[in-house]
Amino acid sequence: MGPFNVLAYIIRRLIGAVLMLLLVSLVTFGIFFWMPKLAGQTTDQIAASYVGKAPTAEAIAATKERLHLDQPVVLQYGHYLKGIVAGQDFKAGPEVDHCPAPCLGYSFRTSQPVLPQLIDRAPATLSLAAGAALLWLVSGVTIGVLSALRRGSFLDRAAMVIALGGVSLPIYFTGLLSLAIFSYNLKIFPGGGSYRPFSEDPLHWFESLVLPWVTLAFLYAAMYARLTRAGMLETLGEDYIRTARAKGLPEKTVITKHALRSSLTPILTVFGLDLGLLLGGAVLTENTFSIPGLGQLAIAAINGGDLPVVLGVTLLAATFVVLLNLVVDVLYAAIDPRVRLG
Amino acid sequence: MNKIRPLAVLAAGVVVSAGLAACGGGDDGGSGSGPGYNSAIDKIVNTSDKKGGTLRLADSDDFDSPDPGNTYYAWSQNFARLYGRGLTTFKPAAGKDSLQVVPDLATGLGTPSDGGKTWTYKLRTGVQYDDGTTVTSKDVKYAVERSNFSDELQLGPKYFKQYLIDNPTPYKGPYKDKSPEGLKSIETPDDNTIVFKLKQAFSEFDYLVGMSQTIPVPQAKDTGLKYESAIVSSGPYKVDSYQRGKVMTLSRNTHWRQDTDPIRKALPDKIELQLKQNADDIDNRLLSGALDMDVTGVGVQAGTQAKVLNADQKPYVDNPYQGFLRFMSLNVNVKPLDNVHCRTAVQYATDKVAAQSAYGGPLAGGDVATTVLPPSVDGYRKFDLYPQKYQSAGGVDQATLDKAKQELAACGKPQGFTTKISARSDRPKEVAMAQAIQQGLAKVGIKVDIVQFPAGDYFNKYVGAPKYVHDHGIGMMLMAWAADWPTGYGFLSQITDGRAIKPSGGNNLAELNEKSINDAFDAAISNTDKAARTKAYGDIDEAIMKQAVEVPLIYAKALLYRPKNVTNAGITLGYGGMYDYLNMGVTK
């Protein structure tokens, strides 16, 4: 396949991705803006949620107008899309604030534009997800391969028991336990809420993320170890592996070049999905370790009924999933020569 | 066996470490002998004038807004005094003393005239913002106008709008009305004088101007909803940065002068408030000494309560009243609770001890209540019109239940009746409380069905909307209430004055509308004699209880933890039973 074909394939997928995101925005908008009305809520009741503790009729009316809640849902969606392509104005008080395109609206709770909030939170989530992903991929696949090669041994059994524990224990338990032990008693790592951006202090950034990385990776590595082990065991039983060995290929070559390469394809698929979802917000890990990422923003928005922020996070998460799936599909071709893009 | 030895060692290590963690109390935490359990309830403990260090605070949530003109949270009002000075404030003290209002930006308390309808304040001279400009009375007027009359700033209370005389053409706030005089009922004859003209006599105006909405805002620096990111400081600290959902940092306002401020010590060099922190982790950090204070002041999490009551930690714990009353309103327009005897039967038959247990027991839940006014509010008088006795095995005793049955007979319902009780579905303790009450009332034949509504819509859509309540026959409604200012009027008027009944979003859930009680509120609030007002509030409380429309359940309490690193820790009742942050410092 020539590079032109690959480019055409990527462009086709990107156009599909845009349509998919449009659909996601429509569905999400409908769920959060239209469903409450279907459930019988009036616009006054919806607006009253954003007025604070003293929802006077006057305040509710002003809020309805300011947040465009007095308009039909279709018009509100149109207003939202218009903001993405042409920007949006927002009356913040003495002056009108302009949010340039692509504008994802203003928070109903904080009156801040949504996109800068997403951009502000993304590095923390990216730091967490990328570090943890590297850890779990390397450790999970390594343990899985070793377990498969030494099937039934103590190492295999111990690894699978630990893997079972990793899958079973929730992050808010392992996270808080690791903080209590390694931060507050042994004082090896900084405690919760200690995250600092890489740009401010790289060393502190690293130290503050070690526990979250390990905790998050523990969960995923367990799954990947089991997945790799199962894939490797299946592949090692294939005829072409027996043939490779019969040809006298070194065992290292058989394992890495033939068995592992073939086993990696399904792992790569899952990895793309997992990483994409995590980049949209590692909700539990961020909340356990008080990391100000997209997951924490999403939870706060959902709890506060902050619809534009919920919509923004959803769109961003969907974007990550779509893009990573595209990357995975392209990588298939590199890993497995039998796969052709088209 | 040899194979598993390393694993066993590792496991043992983890278990020991986990045990240590569970015990809490690292080297820097609160273990050891402290000032004593409940010692900060009525006095400032660990007193110190030592300056320096960083006060480290955390919150599991965020401000509604740190803009002093756009906030309602009690802790936020308490905290805002570090970077802003209102005309008055609560005295930095512990216990009853903390209920006293003292001048802050003003030189003295307000001077009333025109029978309490006009209030005049003189500002201190030489007070400066962090940019070096001088604070004037016009900035205070502007702060009140923007916070109470603009469409944009909706999160704070609107008492000034309620009580001040409006312009002949209704005033629309400074963002729409650009006229130089603004709201005419606030006059600023000179840069140091401000005069408020009210619609009616209001003797507790000093409390209203103690709210953060009188913290001055220079008009040229106001950016409306964006002001929270660029607050101009008039207090001893300036806001270096506020990142919503992350952190707020304060450092010294170099233009603040101690000689203009007799109530602040301004001890720490820096104050860091971490936002959106994991609530359980906040407790762990407090116990380990990694954090100085949970700023919200609502107490430690359920999982931490046992830890802080250990002998080692207990000397660093306070269990104050939180200013809240948890109670059950009986709607006078839902049959058969329109009959006072049926309401009285409910008063006797309600198992308050079971309700208390459901809400966390005496320490984390609170004390059993018999009055609408809680003990932490000015005007509280101890009485019990419907005394109950309890069996040692639990439950209201037979003699008390017999009284309930007599009242049911007088109501014409000797076999009891059926009604509904409401609770907030996302507050499991409140639902458990409803279940406890349901079981207690069943003993006298009062059958209660529990209906649950989400907290966000509880008042706006359901129990605060009389039509919904009548249409659905909801006779009993659980709620909690705390005063915006800690006097009988501040507490009672919104929940028991008939004029507070609204089509939706109301708090007078019982729909009590007794002329004698309404008149008593008017008489009390126009009375300039504080002692007479205090007595009147006790009388009004008793009059409300005679109507049997409110069943007081719990005077809310919480377990608060003060690490030994914190100096000048005292519980302020002015802000609802949390630590006073005004003069808090750190030992290192």
- Per-residue pLDDT band for A248 (boundaries 50, 70, 90) equals confident
**Shortest CA distance from B274: residue in chain A:** A193
Task: Report whether pLDDT(B16) > 50.
Answer: no
DSSP-derived letter for residue B231 is: P
Give A121's contacts (C-beta < 8 A, 6+ positions apart): A292, A293, A294, A296, A297
Mean pLDDT lowest among A254-258, A298-302, B101-105: A254-258
pLDDT at residue A338, as a whole number:
66
Closest by CA to B407, choosing from B446, B455, B452, is B446
- Report the gap between the CA of A125 and the closest CA in chain B (Å): 14
- Per-residue pLDDT band for A281 (boundaries 50, 70, 90) equals confident
What is the pTM (predicted TM-score) of this model? 0.88
Distance CA A307, CA A36 (A): 12
For residues A138 and B18, the model is more confident at: A138
Looking at residues B1-24, what average pLDDT do you find? 41
Closest by CA to A178, choosing from A210, A145, A205, A211, is A211
In this complex, the residue of A112, A184, A186 whose CB is nearest that of residue B290 is: A184
**Shortest CA distance from B174: residue in chain A:** A94
Residue B452, SS3 per DSSP: strand
pLDDT at residue A237, as a whole number:
87
Return residues 319-338 of A near B (CB < 8 Å).
Answer: none
Distance CA A30, CA B270 (A): 46
Q: What percent of chain B has pLDDT over 90?
A: 87
In chain A, how long is the greatest CA-to-CA distance?
Answer: 85
The answer to whether the CB of A167 falls within 8 A of the CB of A222 is: yes
pLDDT tens-digit readout, A56-79: 778 888 888 888 888 888 898 998
Residue A60, SS3 per DSSP: helix
Mark out the alpha helices in B296-446 (DSSP H runs): 302-308, 340-349, 352-358, 361-364, 398-410, 428-442
Element holding B566 (H helix, E strand): strand B566-567
pLDDT tens-digit readout, B302-338: 889 999 999 999 999 999 999 999 999 999 999 999 9
pLDDT at residue A339, as a whole number:
64
Q: DSSP for B462-517? A: ITT-HHHHHHTT--EEEEEE--SSSBHHHHHHHHH-GGG--SSS-S-TT----HHH
Kindly report the length of chain B.
588
pLDDT at residue B1, as a whole number:
35
Distance CA B536, CA B543 (A): 10
CA angle B124, B128, B130 (to 5 degrees): 150
Distance CA B515, CA B309 (A): 48
Looking at residues B260-287, what average pLDDT do you find? 96
Give CA separation, B214 vs A33, B12, B68, in Å.
37, 59, 8
Element holding A58 (H helix, E strand): helix A57-66
For residues A264 and B215, the model is more confident at: B215
What residues of chain B lie within 8 A of the CB of A41, using their CB?
A: 457, 461
Q: DSSP for B34-103? A: -S-TTTTSSS-BS------SEEEEE-SS--S-SSTTS---HHHHHHHTTT---SEEE-S-SBGGGG-EEE
Beta strands in B86-210 (DSSP E): 88-90, 101-103, 111-113, 118-122, 186-190, 193-197
What residues of chain A lie within 8 A of the CB of B58, using their CB?
A: 193
Q: Which two tokens stand for residue B187?
A: 């006059």
pLDDT at residue B141, as a whole number:
98
Q: DSSP for B276-323? A: S--HHHHHHHHHHTS-SEETT-S---HHHHHHHTSTTTGGGEE--EEE
Looking at residues A315-338, what average pLDDT do you find? 82
- Per-residue pLDDT band for A341 (boundaries 50, 70, 90) equals low
Task: Catalogue all structural domains in chain B, each as residue range(s) with its CATH number.
Answer: 111-224 (3.90.76.10), 323-557 (3.10.105.10)
Q: What percent of chain B has pLDDT over 70?
A: 94
Closest by CA to B275, choosing from B291, B251, B253, is B291
Contact of A196 with chain B, judged by CB distance below 8 Å, is answered with no
- Per-residue pLDDT band for A184 (boundaries 50, 70, 90) equals very high
User: Could B152 and A66 be called an inter-chain contact, meaning their C-beta atoms sit closer than 8 Å?
Assistant: yes
pLDDT at residue A266, as a whole number:
85
For residues A163 and B175, the model is more confident at: B175
Q: Are strands B418-424 and B447-453 parallel, antiparallel or unpaired?
A: parallel
B354 phi, psi to nearest 5 deg: -65, -40
The answer to whether the CB of A324 falls within 8 A of the CB of A275 is: yes
Report the mean per-residue pLDDT for chain A.
87
User: Could A191 and B284 be called an inter-chain contact, meaning their C-beta atoms sit closer than 8 Å?
Assistant: yes
Beta carbons within 10 angstroms of residue A319's beta carbon: 18
Residue with tokens 């509120």: B521
pLDDT tens-digit readout, B168-223: 999 999 999 999 999 999 999 999 999 999 999 999 999 999 999 999 999 999 99
pLDDT at residue A167, as a whole number:
79
- Per-residue pLDDT band for A337 (boundaries 50, 70, 90) equals low
- Per-residue pLDDT band for B470 (boundaries 50, 70, 90) equals very high
The ipTM (two decimal places) reads 0.86
Contact of A177 with chain B, judged by CB distance below 8 Å, is answered with yes
pLDDT at residue A342, as a whole number:
56
Beta carbons within 10 angstroms of residue B479's beta carbon: 21
Number of Cβ pairs closer than 8 Å across A and B?
Answer: 150
- Per-residue pLDDT band for B30 (boundaries 50, 70, 90) equals very low
Q: Are strands A88-91 and A96-99 parallel, antiparallel or unpaired?
A: antiparallel
pLDDT tens-digit readout, B478-492: 999 999 999 999 999
Task: Report whether pLDDT(B18) > 50.
Answer: no
